[in-house]
Amino acid sequence: MNEKAAWGVLGMGVMGTSLSRNLARKGIRLALYNRFLQGEEEGVAAQRCIAYPELAAAQPFEDLEAFIQALETPRKVLVMVPSGSAIELVLEQLIKFLSPGDILIDGGNSHFEATEKRAQLFENVGISFLGMGVSGGEEGALNGPALMVGGERKAFESLSKVLSQIAADNPQGVSCLGHFGTGGAGHYVKMVHNGIEYAEMQLLAEVYECINSHIQPNWSLLNQWQHTKSQSYLLGITATIVSFQEKKGLLVHQILDKTQHKGTGSWSSISAVAQGSPATMIQAALNARYTAAQKEYRVKMAGELPVQTVSIPLDEAVLKKAYDLARWINHHQGFELLKAAKSTYAWSFALSEAAKTWTAGCIIQSRLMQELTLILDSQESLLETVAFKKIYAENISSLEAVLSWSLKAQLPMPVMSAAAQYLFSIRQANSSGNLIQAQRDYFGGHGLEWKDSREGNHGPWKQRS
């Protein structure tokens, strides 16, 4: 008779398989489950056990009840299925077989509000439900991801030894594992991670456009940047991507310019709106994807609204400085969104804990993130730090120059523009908000706040109508 498994992993897709292999390499006894779907998914868990030597001792299942019974108690089940209807169906089935004291971990990209509701549902029957954001893709899941956990603290602590073993270690040897609060806190932090990621990716896409506009593009530039303070995972993979050449030129030029998204970027934007937090770069990156997805319409309008293409040289050092400054603003906006959410949902984690979790294993790991971890230990507003004020003073003219260049070249730079516009707005002591107040009061009677001590909270507009 097989010894009971210490952990169960449900869902043998790319991420579920990679995390299972990671767990097995750390000596964790596993039971693996994948649904049976005739002609589409048959014997999947058993196939994984054959394909990967580290999973040879794992117990494969297609029967959910047998899978649960194969686990030692209290049971620990890691669910790795897509968010939405798939996870809902799985949880409906699992609740029938689990017992009080068991721990269920949703490692998918679920919306944090759904995780909040599920945590309450399972708590009512004595089962601990944790929402765990997993970043790093297939490679990270296999070799060490960043893990962002939300849910009952006691349940998290009972799993933290194993989770810290499979998580990435940052350059200081600290595990990229964090607990961020109850309910959906972990999935919220992962959502903001993905929002920052959207803007970082679009920033690099805009840099790519700038380089590509030159008569003789310098595609080694990104690799050069990777050996400076600009270093990041995303910059590194972008430098690699643009190094692939074929007879027709760059391989990336042969890829259809039609983007997709899975929802986490829009969730970040929606939450930012709900919190009243100006995550303008995330929103601009999301809109850039929406526009890129409209390939057919863009081709049509390119014919109807022709652009006079002009090749204008752009100084590479200026481009790098603009990029570096924009990245600081993107990270600032992401951490400001986390700060707002902490207040709204009564989560007590430190912003530096999120930064620390993002220093290795994840998509937004970078030298900048390592620097921010230290800064956020003592200061929660990045724009108020000495480090930012220095880079602002040194780089703001470059950001302005790149945007001026992009207008002349008629190249879209939505995220870099959003960075600059946010800066221009946030440093404006007296804004045009007074006129907005007056307009709202004029047509809707919404009231006014006065600078002086005059009586009344409405303007005299109606008397003059």
Task: Give the catalytic positions in this structure.
Answer: 190, 197
Q: How far apart are CA 126 and CA 98, in angstroms?
A: 10
What the block records as the tokens of 223 is 């690799």
Alpha helices, H only, 105-181: 112-123, 137-143, 153-166
Q: Give the CA distances from residue 108 to residues 64, 81, 111, 185, 198, in Å, rounded to whole numbers and listed in that order.
A: 19, 6, 9, 14, 18
Amino acid at 338: L
Query: What are the backbone angles phi and psi of residue 363, rounded to the nearest 5°?
Result: -70, -30
Q: What is the bridge-based pairing of β-strands 103-106 and 30-33?
A: unpaired
Q: Which helix (H) or strand (E) holds 31?
A: strand 30-33
Instruction: Give the DSSP letter of residue 171.
Output: T
The residues facing 132 across adjacent strands are 149
Residue 359: burial class (beta carbons within 10 Å; 0-12, 13-18, 19+): buried
Residue 277: burial class (beta carbons within 10 Å; 0-12, 13-18, 19+): buried
Q: How far apart are CA 59 and CA 45, in angstroms?
A: 8
Decide: 107 and 151 in contact? Cβ < 8 Å.
Answer: no
Sorted by sequence, the CB contacts under 8 Å of residue 357 that are 6+ apart come out as 146, 147, 148, 176, 177, 178, 189
Q: Which helix (H) or strand (E) holds 205?
A: helix 185-212
